[in-house]
Structures are given as C-alpha cells and as structure tokens.
Structure 1
C-alpha cells in the first residue's frame, strides 16, 4: 500500500492489527459468530438452486453446488469445510477478515488518489450505515464525488410479504431504501434489503442524467453484487450466510469482500472504520 501523504479525516485513535484482531473476536465480528451453520447451509442450498433471493443480482458463470459453496466459504471466511458439519455457529477466521480489510483499504486508497466518483449503498442501514458514512465522508474530503442519483425514486421490490414499494434515499452520502412514509414517521435509517434493484435504479438514473458514473461502488448485499454484475468495480462486507459476494469475488465480478458478522451493534464497527481509513491514508 502506498505511503500516506495527505491525511484528511480526523480519527480519535487507530487500533493496531493485534488490537483490531482482539476487537474482532471480543465483538464477535469474527471468531465464533451469531450466524448459525443451519442458516448458512440453507442459504447455500438456495444459492445452488439459483434462487434470486440469494443471488443478490449476481449471474454466476459456473454451476455452484452446495459442496462447492462450502469449500469456497471455508477458503474465503474460515467456516468449517466439513459437509457433515450441519449445526452450531459459524466461525470466521479473523486473519481472513484482517487481510480483506487491508484489501478493502487498498481499493479505497486507489480511488481516493484518483479523486474518482463513487457510489455507496447498504441493505443493512441499522448496523452498517455509520461505517459506510465515515468512508463516504473521507472519500469526499479526499476529492471524490460521492454520487446520490435517483434520490426519492420509487423501487418496487418483491419480498416474502409480497411486492413492496420503497423509496431510494441517501443519508450522509449512503444510499438505502425506506418504506413509503418512513421519513415522515421519523425513521433515522432505512429497511433491511438484499435486492439489487436499488443499485440498478441508481446507476440507470446516473447514466440517463449524463453521468458521472461511479468508478467504484461500495456496499453490501445487492449493492455490491448488482453493481459488480453490471461491470462496475465493487467492494464490500458480507456474512457467512451470504455466499453471493464471495462467489462474485471468486469469479472476478467483485473486487474485495470482507468476511464478518454484519448484524452486531453499529458501534462495534467503528474500530474497523478507523483501521480502514488509516490504512487507506484517509485519516489523521
């Protein structure tokens, strides 16, 4: 990674690699995580059957059997590689998380050095909005145009409860979807979503408006997979029961995926923010 030259965002303190490793384990972001083996295996079965709910906008080139996905997730995340292991909690290797965070930071540094336009979006706003918002702030300060196309646009998403209409919104430069009327109800964040439709709507609006288009999309779920499938560089975070981003990485559609539990308290991600921005030379 390039030597830091021009820090831009003030961070109170930065953890060392050893301290961050300890935090990952203590917060259960890595190590033994809340995601169960049963949940992950169910997701792998659905992905192998090409259920769109698990593809997250990805169109895999190869046929992925459940056994293949177990092997991939063992390699990418550190979960058990034993197909006969069918219960208990998943385990994420913190060394894989740290290595992926370094890769994530390297891609941030690259886009910041170019001052390139970026798009950020999350399907986990209640947990991950703060992480992405800090990244958006840092990239904006570094000279990147943080894009907000299609703000307020309606997006129809099929859920387990049927077809629902959401509004595409941005909070501190990070895209999310809200249920209709949620803004008026005072909702600080948005809805949990796996759909790639919001990123498709945002990118289509940017193109229709004459650009600019993002040189990188940063996010999770459908944001990272949907953008990567359309040919945009995409980096993001993913849990062990979401194989699509890791398949995308394996097939060269997604650049970097950080394996971690994506459902812990939002404050537990702050040390990761500090670490990533410091490694990307975007902190001081």
Structure 2
C-alpha cells in the first residue's frame, strides 16, 4: 500500500510536484489571458468573479503552491506536493461516493498521450463495482479551434475514456488522441446523452475543458490541472468544480501509476 508519505516522495522524484517544468513566464501569461477572458484559457468556464491577474496569482499560490511574488517573472515554478496529496485524497473520496451509489460516470481527457492510463484504470475500477461508464456521442464530429485554424475532430473512447482524434484518423495504438483544452467535446457528449434519453453522468472525471465544461453546465466534475490551468482552480473556488488536483500534467505516463494506486486504495477500489 502506498502511504501519503511515499506518494509525496514520488511526486517530488517524478517532478509531478515540487519544482516543475512549466515555466513561470508561461504560468503568468495564462493568468493574464484568463483575466482577459480569452476563451482558450477559460476552457468552458464563465467566471462569476472579475479575477485580475493578481487575484489569480493569489488563488494559485494557495491552491497549487506557485510563488505568490508578482515580481518573480522568469524561471521555474513550484507545485506544493502537500496540496497535491490533499487534493488526491478529496478526489478519492468523490470516487468512493460514486462507487457506493453506482452512479453513471463520464471520463474524458485532453491529455491522452500522458493521462489516458490514469483515467482508464479508474474507469475500469468503477465499472467493476457497478458504475456505468458512459460513451455518448461516439464517432460524433466536433469542430475545434487550433493554432492552425478550425479543424474537424471525432469523439472516440479508449478503454472508456473520451478523446478526440483528427477527422479520418483511426485508433491504431500509435495515436491515442490529440491534446486539447476545448470544452466542446464534453458539451457534445452531454448533449448527446440528453438527446438520446440515456443516463446523464452524475460525475465527470478528466481535465481541461472536460472538467470546466461539465462544471459550467452543472454536472459535478473532478480532475487534474497544471499550474498554468487557472480555469480549473477558479471553477473549484467558485463551486463549479468539486476537486482540482494540482500537478504537472505532461510527464511520462508511467509516473502517474502510483497516483492511480493511491487513489484506488483510498477509495477502497483496489482491484
């Protein structure tokens, strides 16, 4: 069994927390763009508050552990591992509640190349105890804005986890999906579930637009977020995201496996 102390040590060793790779200048830029309400940084959230860059920095220092010093402009920043462990405990608690209630759940990720295995293992564990893992809008087209302009993608599910692929691409084991922050996939999925008369998810588990998009629509959402994803933490602060777990979301996929084991054990879902 992985203890909280061992998990904390792993977070630091794997650079999931502590000094992380996300540059300070990138972090501050994301706060500025969120404050300006750039849709690419809101990722589906419509903030109730005004949220100046300074207020966001204060929030993120509290929730993530980044430096609160506005004069610190360049270099590496920090994620506090104790905050990560505490958030993973809260995340596990929500999983346990879902498992006991056998509620329908929806998984989705904008970081499939890194986080697919984390979510897929959780989906399997919840399915094993009777939760229905939903796959609405499978194969549906979604037009997403990218740095290359508007591109058509399709919504796919890999081991119960929603991802998006470029239109025409097939899952072949070499391409699990594309990186996206867009909330459009979760909106399409939730609309399809409602239109089809099937169950709506009682809980959405994911990251980026999956969490913020679901929370904005009133569906309970929990997920992972990096220090340059202020929208997820603002959503938590404003009550539309139940749990936001601060960590680096772009390290090697294998580094997330101990987190999966820890969460499943805490949720009494170890297989």
TM-score range normalised by the length of the shorter chain: over 0.9
Q: Which runs of 5+ in 1 are unaligned?
A: 1-13
Q: Which residue of 1 is the match for residue 169 of structure 2? A: 182
- How far, CA to CA, are the matches of 2:51 and 2:166 in structure 1? 34
Once the two structures are superposed, the pairs formed by residues 86-101 of structure 1 within 5 Å of their partners are 86-101=73-88
- How far, CA to CA, are the matches of 2:37 and 2:211 in structure 1? 18
Q: 1:184 to 1:69 in 2, by over 3 A?
A: closer
The structure 1 segments of at least 4 consecutive aligned residues displaced by more than 2 Å after TM superposition are 184-188
Q: Which residue of 1 is the match for residue 269 of structure 2? A: 282
Q: Which residue of 2 is the match for residue 11 of structure 1? A: none
Once the two structures are superposed, the pairs formed by residues 1-284 of structure 1 within 5 Å of their partners are 14-183=1-170, 187-284=174-271
- How far, CA to CA, are the matches of 1:61 and 1:241 in structure 2? 20
User: Alpha carbon RMSD of aligned pairs, Å?
Assistant: 0.9
1:247-266 C-alpha deviation (Å, 9 max, x unpaired):
00000000000000000000
Q: Which runs of 5+ in 2 are unaligned?
A: none
1:173-202 C-alpha deviation (Å, 9 max, x unpaired):
000000122216654300000000000000
> How far apart are 1:239 and its partner, in Å?
0.2
- How far, CA to CA, are the matches of 2:8 and 2:192 in structure 1? 40
Q: Which residue of 2 is the match for residue 6 of structure 1? A: none
- How far, CA to CA, are the matches of 1:127 and 1:169 in structure 2? 17
Q: 1:28 to 1:184 in 2, by over 3 A?
A: closer
> How far apart are 1:18 and its partner, in Å?
1.1
The alignment of Structure 1 onto Structure 2 pairs a total of residues equal to: 271
SS in 1 for 2:201: coil
What's the TM-score, normalizing by structure 1? 0.94
> How far apart are 1:158 and its partner, in Å?
1.0
- How far, CA to CA, are the matches of 1:187 and 1:19 in structure 2? 33
